[in-house]
Amino acid sequence: MRIVIDMQGAQGSSAKRGIGRYTLALAHALIKSGRHHEILLALNGANTELTLDIRSEFAGILPEENIKVWHTPKNVSELFDGKPWLRTSAEMLREAFLAKLQPDVLLVSSLFEGLDSSTVTSIGRLTTRIPTAVILFDLIPYLHRLPYLQNRAIESWYERKLDDLRRADAWLAISEATRSDAIRWLSLPRDRVVNISSAVDDSFRVVDLAKVDIERIRERYRLFRPFVMYTGGIDHRKNIEGLIKAFAKLPRDTRKAHQLVIVCSIQDDSRTMLSHLASSIGLDSDELVLTGYVPEDDLIGLYNMCSLFVFSSTYEGFGLPVLEAMRCGAAVISADTSSIPEIIGWDEAMFDPRSEDSISAKMLKALSDDGFRSKLIENGSRRVKSFSWKATAARALDAIEELHRSTAKKARHHSEKSR
């Protein structure tokens, strides 16, 4: 079977974030699966640098001729270019290019692309029908419209992508929660929406940090005491304000013995807002640390060094930071919502993210009860064994192979009827 992977998940605005990393890691695992399918990677040539990066990424594990590049007009982003006819032309060019590769199945790594970049995605613009599977990360804008779809142009783009999504033939969700959302809210056929789960890179692991590295990290991020850590995005659903308020509710002695470290890229206005919030509820200036962007090596170090990792998000498609922290040996507590319980797997390690008292009580138990903290670490060590790229790739290939079989069966049935 010939599988063509549209790699634009690693070429769009999320190329260096979760979707980009997922796209690359899954492609690697599919190639290494040992099932002997022919795999082609299809790249958008609009971003020369990222195209070269991906070529380099797969050099030595995939023949160079299996990496195909198409070219469309560059200025086709929804927000900044505003030329619908040009976007439509680019979509048709992409579909025609993919059809010429004659895939048995097309795997779209990320369909919700093109809002603010020259990535181009669509399904069904041409009459040529390619059996198509789509990786589905989440339906967050659909379920939480107010913060994400206030702009009419963004809403229009998102609705078109939902229409494309519905025209796919199989959907590979990254969690059971996302699978359930797709079935419930989009009425997608239950038997064709598959949970393939997720994993994280092997670089996230327990590390015996040298004293000099610990001191370097502490000095760089002004870490003077043991610390409670969060990492992830900073949008409203991440509930960072709730986490700060919960930290402030800790008994004074416990709170003063720790710092709360928020690890994420942050704009000046958000930094000012969170700093003002911390001050207004009685936190001293050194109790809240906003690191800004942190390179991966430092992130792994911080995971290994933290006294406790807290993930207070109210909604996730998967929740990669939880798994990353567990792989690094951290004691982890988290929200009991959406996909996160699939990772944590233990009720005692979870809290209600909408209750500051619930978050604070669980933090206090983890910081003051050594036995409970040890159980959290043991739980993480056990749970991480359930997630691997090999397993995710196997689930994805099972779904792709089933799509190929069902497509062939329909073609035979149609041929017999037309005789």
pLDDT band at 415 (very low <50, low <70, confident <90, very high): low
Domains observed in the chain: 2-199+388-417 (3.40.50.2000), 211-386 (3.40.50.2000)
pLDDT band at 419 (very low <50, low <70, confident <90, very high): low
Which residues are CB-neighbours of 27 under 8 A, at least 6 positions away? 5, 7, 39, 41, 58, 109
Six token digits for residue 105: 């199945």
Q: Which of 239, 307, 223 is nearest to 274 (CA)?
A: 239
What's the full length of the chain, in residues? 419
**Helices of type H across 32-174:** 48-58, 84-100, 140-143, 145-148, 152-166
Lowest mean pLDDT among 12-21, 252-261, 272-281: 12-21
pLDDT band at 262 (very low <50, low <70, confident <90, very high): very high
Q: What separation in angstroms does the CA of 2 have from each of 64, 98, 231?
A: 16, 12, 39
pLDDT tens-digit series, residues 30-79 = 999 988 999 999 999 988 899 999 999 999 999 999 999 999 887 888 88
Q: CA 72, CA 98: separation in Å to the nearest integer?
A: 13
Six token digits for residue 348: 């005692």
| Sign of torsion over alpha carbons 51, 54, 56, 59 | negative
Q: What angle do CA 290, 296, 302 make, to 5 degrees?
A: 55
pLDDT tens-digit series, residues 266-320 = 999 999 999 999 999 999 999 999 999 999 999 999 999 999 999 999 999 999 9
